[in-house]
């Protein structure tokens, strides 16, 4: 009986004490910002001693939250260590508290990763918050995200709204993206003239995709905007960027009279048009373009020469490939041609992929 009384007394004393102690520990854990699950090991004798040391030496989430820059540095360190989910948790805490650097990081993570599945829905959520503050880059990003059909919150009207905002803030890339958005809508609604104006603005600032699109528009025989002179101009601009495939295409197009109809007399006169074509093909050959080298070698073998003595157009065929067929073989190996109409390839109109440098 005495033993039972002792156990009863111990229970009466220890149970309330344990409960009170657990409540105190739980409060400390919560205030520090840790999950309540840590209460369990904290009540295990021996283990709680080790946990106390770990607890004392660690960075307490809620303590760091009161020093946002410290928490941001912790999140960046976690990203560099590949602990993306932990970093996102801390970045979200900061972003909800209007920490702009954290918001930028979340946009980048949700678009590009790494180590997580991209989420355009979450990306546009944070980019729009930054866009509303007048950030022109995020206005462009937000418009671009809303225009992507793989985005669960795809909204073409919001895309136009934010891209137009970015344009008013003089974001050059927004002109091309808005033109692409206008081309996504049904043709009867497509503002073709506005599309061209937007591409022209962006192309004037050196945007290669806009220049390529203008070439497509102006070289389309079925378009009311068909203009071979303008098509030639934008193809030249692209060729001047140093792309050998475009240089080769430009030279052949000029020789074939794709942009300016030529008679044989015109082609071989001293008007300089054919001379320009030869220069472009030579430039492509100098960069190792197989078909350009072979074409010049073929012309040399056929004793084709220009009468413009001011420029040396000779091509050392020993420095080039031995034959056009060898050039074709090398191009096939690198995926430059599709293998069709090989006999006519030297003078044939290049494919659309060639126009874009593919």
Tokens linked to 121: 């829905």
Q: Which of 84-98, 101-115, 181-195, 265-279 has the lowest mean pLDDT?
A: 265-279
Please tell me the distance from the alpha carbon of residue 199 to that of residue 180, in angstroms, as a whole number. 9
Q: How high is the pLDDT of residue 332?
A: 45
Q: Is the pLDDT of residue 107 over 90?
A: yes
Distant-in-sequence, close-in-space partners of 253: CB < 8 Å, separation ≥ 6: 232, 235, 259, 349, 350
Q: Specify the fold of 119-235.
A: 1.25.40
Query: In the chain, pLDDT over 70 holds for what percent of residues?
Result: 70
* Candidate ranges 67-71, 101-105, 203-207; pick with highest mean pLDDT: 101-105
Tokens linked to 317: 């065929």
Q: How high is the pLDDT of residue 109?
A: 93
Tokens linked to 3: 């033993």
Q: How high is the pLDDT of residue 62?
A: 61
Q: Is the pLDDT of residue 203 over 60?
A: yes
Please tell me the distance from the alpha carbon of residue 215 to that of residue 52, in angstroms, as a whole number. 70
3-class SS of residue 139: helix
Distant-in-sequence, close-in-space partners of 88: CB < 8 Å, separation ≥ 6: 106, 109, 116
Please tell me the distance from the alpha carbon of residue 131 to that of residue 26, in angstroms, as a whole number. 41
Cite the residue boundaries of each domain of the chain with CATH code 1.25.40.10.
119-235
Please tell me the distance from the alpha carbon of residue 120 to that of residue 56, in angstroms, as a whole number. 39
Q: How high is the pLDDT of residue 325?
A: 45
Are the C-beta atoms of residues 197 and 225 closer than 8 Å to each other? no
Q: How high is the pLDDT of residue 350?
A: 37
Give helix then strand counts, H and E, for the chain: 20, 0
Instruction: Give 133-176 pLDDT, tens digit per residue.
Output: 999 999 999 999 999 988 899 998 999 999 999 999 888 789 99
Instruction: Give 249-302 pLDDT, tens digit per residue.
Output: 888 888 777 776 555 455 445 445 677 888 899 999 999 899 898 888 877 766
Please tell me the distance from the alpha carbon of residue 108 to that of residue 100, in angstroms, as a whole number. 13
Are the C-beta atoms of residues 30 and 37 closer than 8 Å to each other? no
């Amino acid at each position: 009986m005495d033993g039972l009384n002792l156990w009863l007394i111990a229970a009466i004393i220890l149970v309330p004490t344990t409960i009170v102690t657990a409540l105190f520990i739980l409060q400390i854990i919560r205030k520090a910002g840790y999950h309540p699950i840590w209460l369990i090991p904290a009540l295990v004798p021996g283990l709680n001693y080790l946990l106390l040391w770990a607890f004392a030496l660690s960075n307490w989430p809620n303590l760091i939250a009161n020093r946002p820059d410290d928490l941001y540095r912790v999140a960046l360190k976690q990203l560099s260590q590949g602990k993306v989910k932990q970093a996102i948790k801390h970045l979200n805490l900061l972003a909800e508290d209007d920490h702009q650097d954290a918001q930028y990081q979340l946009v980048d993570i949700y678009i590009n990763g790494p180590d997580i599945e991209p989420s355009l829905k979450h990306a546009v959520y944070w980019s729009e918050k930054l866009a509303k503050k007048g950030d022109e880059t995020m206005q462009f990003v937000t418009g671009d995200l809303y225009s992507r059909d793989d985005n669960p919150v795809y909204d073409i009207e919001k895309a136009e709204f934010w891209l137009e905002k970015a344009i008013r803030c003089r974001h050059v890339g927004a002109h091309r993206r808005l033109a692409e958005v206008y081309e996504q809508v049904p043709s009867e609604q497509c503002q073709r003239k506005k599309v061209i104006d937007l591409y022209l603005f962006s192309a004037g600032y050196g945007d290669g995709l806009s220049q390529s699109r203008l070439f497509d528009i102006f070289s389309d025989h079925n378009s009311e905007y068909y203009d071979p002179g303008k098509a030639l101009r934008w193809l030249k601009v692209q060729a001047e960027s140093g792309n050998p495939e475009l240089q080769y295409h430009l030279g052949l197009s000029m020789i074939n009279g794709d942009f300016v109809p030529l008679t044989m007399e015109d082609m071989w006169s001293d008007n300089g048009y054919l001379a320009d074509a030869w220069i472009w093909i030579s430039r492509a050959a100098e960069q190792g373009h197989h078909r350009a080298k072979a074409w010049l070698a073929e012309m040399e073998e056929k004793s084709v020469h220009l009468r413009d003595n001011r420029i040396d157009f000779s091509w050392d065929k020993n420095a080039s490939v031995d034959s056009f067929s060898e050039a074709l073989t090398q191009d096939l190996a690198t995926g430059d041609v599709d293998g069709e109409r090989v006999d006519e390839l030297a003078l044939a109109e290049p494919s659309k992929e060639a126009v874009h440098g593919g």
